[in-house]
Structure 1
Amino acid sequence: MRSSAEPRDLWGGTNHFGAIYRDDVLAPATMVSTRVTAQDNTGPWAQAGLIARTDLGTASGAGYVNIALTPGQGCVFSWDNDNNGSFDRYTALSAIKAPAFVRLARTGDTVTGSCSSDGKTWTEAGSAPAPANVALDAGLFMTATNGGSQARGIAEFDGFQVGVVEGPQTPAPGEHYLSDLPWVSSTGGVGPWERDMNNGESAAGDGGTISLGGVAYAKGLGSNADARLELHLGGACTRFVSVVGIDDSMNKPGAEGDVVVRVEGDGKPLLTSDVLKGGGRPLAVDLDVTGVRRLVLVVSKYDVNNWWDRTSWGGARVVCG
């Protein structure tokens, strides 16, 4: 399947793209996928992949997300964070380029975008909320993102598959680092959540060693406000343990990182921290999560911006069984 388009951009107030889609196909517990086999390089942000929202046949709609391959940025997941009909947030997996597979998976009221070089091993690029109990239109799309040059581009796709999302697995008895467990969903303020490294910039895997209060952690999670991570415990675990704070990499002259972190279990607050500041003492967390099915970690900026709010969760783990 080949698609040709000239659209200038797909960001902010510009919504120029071409799509072939199906109505109401991305319902809860459903996923769609395709393989982008080739893509013209009309610009580093030219995009070819999958797009979804409540109504792709009109100029606006909720639940607006896409997962796309680009010539210069790798595999990019974009979403409409303020729900105004325009893309304004993205995360990127810089190492993945066409030919490669892309997927949008709907779990409850969350849509997750993932990429794969072989269609077997998938890497999550990011997640965004979807309107509750509303199926989304979804399909193939491309935009040339040509910077106003009028250049047209061609993208080639192999198939459009619709499948069922398997339910999350409950952790086995024992101690498990959260970085080793599958995640139900994740959203980050600057780049995606990172496994076993701190949060770098917008690309996945661009962080460094987690360090809190002068102590380095080989295992843990990296985030930057505003960020949310959800995991499935299935009622099988009893403790959540971590050390959390502004990562030591933010201890720079003029840095003013400050965040509040929350831990929730099945929608109920288990912990709300005081303000955590850069250069301050990290917070030791040891919580009873007996019976909790869904564990959620939240990082919120304290002031008006999220500059210097790189927040790490050193040794984050659950004890189960």
Structure 2
Amino acid sequence: RSGGEPVHVGGAPAPADVDGLSAAPLLAGSADSARHGHLYWFRDELGVTSRADAQDKKRATWLAEAVRRENWKAVRFAPERDHNLPDEKWQVELYDLASDPGEASDVVDKHPATATELVALMRSSWKDTYPRTPFGTRLTLPRLAVPGQAFTVTATLDNGSARPWTAAALGLRAPAGWTVTAASPTTAEQLAVGARLTASWQVAPPADAAPATSWELTAEGTALTPAGPVRYPATGTVPTPPPAPTRNSYLSDLTWISATNGWGPVERDTSNGRSAAGDGPLISFGGTTYPKGLGVHAPSDIAYHLGGAAVRFTSLVGIDDFSAKQSTLGATRAKVYGDDRLLLTTPTLTAATGPVQVDLDVRGVRVLRLVVEDANNRTSFDHTSWALARVTVS
């Protein structure tokens, strides 16, 4: 149960498909039958504590699901991160909560038929997707805002409630000095159940807007509902890019647009190291060190502004010795995007495969993205380095 009561009691304009059952009918003295006679849980967790891992017998990072029906609870764990594994590969446990509320004694061997029934309930409860009715305001911004150049911003206001709205409107607020011009109607007299108001604007930052800066824009949807007025803001940020390179440059010497990393910060000219900035050794593969490059840990995504000025991107990418010396379990996959077009996907990178040479034509590319993904559903020993990552301008 999560949030159904305000919808029923107060007539709140909440999504019609709000999760869970409401206790309001029971408080009002009316019957409210449950949708089904069991509870289902699913867990897909990568970051866990040692205490949780001990409680789950070193399976805290395994896929897990559970179901409770009356006083019976079944739990099962998948050794691979694949929900479609055959039943026989899962480890199943069964608990009688009437006599064992602390789930201390697994009784699956004593009650195999009950375990089979509850596993069938798990299978029937799982859905690949749980679609939600769009509700409130959503804002769509471009990847970059180039000073002096107009771009399009789009916002939507969705009536995902169970009642119609009136006097619907969308507005957009931009930083001081930016111009905002509506490019479509921004109001609607009526917004029926399930209907959407979409509006767009032409937005331009001033020509002297500071480079390499993130700017905040806010779209706000308003409407009148049977319960009163509502206001739904949606805020997003768009960066002005750093200057494009004017000469051949190592990426570690350039300012990136954005950078995300799976363990600590992205490092310049060193391996990812540990979680603090600057704590990694020199980038190295197979004992050979490299003075320039980028050190990351999956998942990682770094974006650079090339502005169409570069012609080639070269690098050597692979599992760094920092991880390779500790374990052979690290496995990642590197990808390079040019303006969201996939330019390269490497084979799986491991300590055994060694690094892969990258040499790509990037003529006309405005935004270059270097992405590293986990390749074996583990989170450890995935330190990956882009050695000698470099763009050639001429």
TM-score by length of 1: 0.49
State the structure with bigger RCO (CA 8 A, min sep 6), 1 or 2. 1
Pick the structure with greater CA Rg.
Answer: 2
- Structure having the higher helix fraction is 2
